[in-house]
Amino acid sequence: MYLTKWNAIRRIGFVSTRFKGTDGVSLETAKWRQVLEKMGYECYFFSGLSDWEPENSMVNEEAFFGHPLVMELQERCFGTTVRGKDLTGEIQAVRYRLKRALYDFVGNFRIDLLITENALTIPMHIPLGLALTELIAETGIPTIAHHHDFAWERQRFSVNCVEDYLSMSFPPRLHTINHVVINSEGRQQLSYRCGIASTIIPNVFDFDTEPPVLDDYGRGIRRDLGVADDEALLLQPTRVIARKGIEHAIELAGRLRDKKAKLLISHQERDEGSDYFQRTMDYAALLGVDVIVRPGMIGAERGVTETGEKKYSLWDCYLNADFVTYPSTYEGFGNAFLEALWFKKPMLVNRYSIFQQDIEPLDFDIVMMENYVTPETINTVRAILNNPALVEVITARNYELGRRFFSFNLLEQRLRQVLMNFGQL
């Protein structure tokens, strides 16, 4: 059906569980979209949750990993090694409905090429992965599988009763799929575990566009969050999940008492439950650290809350931060790292494995820790906070390195390489 269209790709369909908010997959998809549209392609979107323009989107609630039925099925798939026939039937029923919806999406928007965003990578939504695999196999539609997080990178997926489904669809081995990973470890493991070749396209940022400046609206966030002018505001620009290592940021704030440090956590999503969130808040209370979590006040964009108060964006958080903390124990790449570079903010980074392999060799000037905060770490951060001239020098250099290695120009070059595999350009 689609083989004759390989030399006439113009309409691209993105598929994911959600295109909403400031999660890493949604942010990176928006960047790909921006570059592809600049290249002359039209982009359309299929997901289970979306705040993107409806005229270019198809939303099917069952495609969202947080849908109650999907969550219930997923819960029964992991932590056990035997799958009852009832569970198989329920998974297949959802798969069938989603496959019909995907066929409608491809047909209604006359899609020439699919880009799956993590939907064929991490098994957060098994029926959607199965539906996508069957659609691609049945139609031969050219597909780019954009992989952010693999199942083998998450311990919670190691014990399961769906190994056949994981082997089939996470990721699938189909000749019309070109695989894209975001780091060198992903490429190595995909080859070793699955025998699949891939292209590395790291996370990127639009370094050719200058960051916004702090305006009167944005200045209000410190006052509204209760942060005084003489208090250091540390920004943790991540979700509250265990691998983000937020307890290290709390310890850092606690040991910077002379700077009256407070910690702002920008993202509210708790995709992996609330236990870690509660543990984090309890730890902060033990250390006497003021951790600011304001789900109603901070969102993807500026606006007004339901009670009529000002709502601030993630960008307002960066503009007001004195220092950025990024002590993750694991990351697929690191959107927040690039954002901090763009806003020219000094930062602390834990040397997670992907950072060591793909980022550290580029010689960014940042504070690094090795799994725990040391007195040297504290003294280095304190010295930076006490020297605005030093901050200006190191962040300007980091910005230029970011523009050199992680710009939209790099993304366009790599996308052109992948599209050439489909006879494009």
Residue 197's Cβ-count burial label (10 Å; 0-12, 13-18, 19+) is: exposed
Structural domain contains residue 161: yes
Q: Are residues 73 and 197 in the same domain?
A: yes
Average pLDDT over residues 285-292: 96
Q: Can you list the alpha helix ranges (DSSP code H) found in 313-374?
A: 314-320, 335-342, 353-354
Q: Are residues 44 and 154 in the same domain?
A: yes
| The predicted structure's pLDDT at residue 141 | 96
Report residue 348: phi and psi, to 5°: -110, 130
The 10s digit of each residue's pLDDT in 45-102 is 999 999 999 999 999 999 999 999 999 999 999 999 999 999 999 999 999 999 999 9
Number of domains the chain is built from:
2
pLDDT at 307 over 90: no
pLDDT band at residue 425 using 50, 70 and 90 as cut-offs = low
Structural domain contains residue 310: yes
If DSSP codes are grouped into helix, strand and coil, which group holds residue 64? coil
* CATH code, domain carrying 295: 3.40.50.2000
| The predicted structure's pLDDT at residue 422 | 87
Average pLDDT over residues 355-378: 95
pLDDT at 2 over 50: no
Structural domain contains residue 48: yes
Last residue of a domain, one of 146, 166, 201: 201
pLDDT band at residue 424 using 50, 70 and 90 as cut-offs = low
The 10s digit of each residue's pLDDT in 332-353 is 888 899 999 999 999 999 999 9
pLDDT at 401 over 70: yes
Last residue of a domain, one of 134, 169, 201: 201
Edge-to-edge, what's the strand order for the sheet holding 310-313? Answer: 298-299, 310-313, 303-304
Q: Are residues 189 and 254 in the same domain?
A: no
- Domain extent at residue 396: 216-405
The 10s digit of each residue's pLDDT in 123-147 is 999 999 999 999 999 999 999 999 9
pLDDT at 365 over 50: yes
Structural domain contains residue 207: no
Angle at 134 between CA 128 and CA 137, to 5 degrees: 140
Q: Are residues 307 and 183 in the same domain?
A: no
| The predicted structure's pLDDT at residue 306 | 82
Please state, in angstroms and rounded to a whole number, the distance separating the CA atoms of residues 90 and 79. Answer: 18
The answer to whether the CB of 320 falls within 8 A of the CB of 218 is yes
The 10s digit of each residue's pLDDT in 207-236 is 999 999 999 999 999 999 999 999 999 999
Give the orientation angle of helix 246-254 with respect to helix 275-287, to 10 degrees. Answer: 10
Structural domain contains residue 416: no
pLDDT over 90 percentage in the chain = 85
The answer to whether the CB of 300 falls within 8 A of the CB of 21 is yes
Q: Are residues 85 and 118 in the same domain?
A: yes
Question: Average model confidence (pLDDT) for the chain?
Answer: 93
pLDDT at 201 over 90: yes
Q: Are residues 101 and 24 in the same domain?
A: yes
Q: Are residues 196 and 223 in the same domain?
A: no
The answer to whether the CB of 238 falls within 8 A of the CB of 246 is yes
Return the DSSP state at 362.
G
**Per the structure block, which two tokens stand in for 45?**
């979107």
Q: Are residues 81 and 143 in the same domain?
A: yes
Q: Are residues 103 and 192 in the same domain?
A: yes
| The predicted structure's pLDDT at residue 113 | 97
Q: Are residues 191 and 236 in the same domain?
A: no
Structural domain contains residue 361: yes
Structural domain contains residue 170: yes
| The predicted structure's pLDDT at residue 1 | 44
* CATH code, domain carrying 137: 3.40.50
The answer to whether the CB of 20 falls within 8 A of the CB of 30 is no
Of 80, 73, 71, the closest CA to residue 161 belongs to 80
Q: Are residues 157 and 296 in the same domain?
A: no
pLDDT at 5 over 50: no
Q: Which amino acid is at 341?
A: L
The answer to whether the CB of 327 falls within 8 A of the CB of 350 is yes
Looking at per-residue pLDDT, the higher value among 363 and 5 belongs to 363
| The predicted structure's pLDDT at residue 57 | 97
Which pTM value belongs to this model? 0.86
Structural domain contains residue 278: yes
| The predicted structure's pLDDT at residue 226 | 95
Please state, in angstroms and rounded to a whole number, the distance separating the CA atoms of residues 409 and 406. Answer: 8
Please state, in angstroms and rounded to a whole number, the distance separating the CA atoms of residues 75 and 89. Answer: 15
Q: How far is CA 46 from the centre of its chain?
A: 18
Contacts of 199 (CB under 8 A, 6+ apart): 178, 179, 180, 181, 414, 417, 418
Q: Are residues 239 and 341 in the same domain?
A: yes
Angle at 203 between CA 321 and CA 184, to 5 degrees: 125
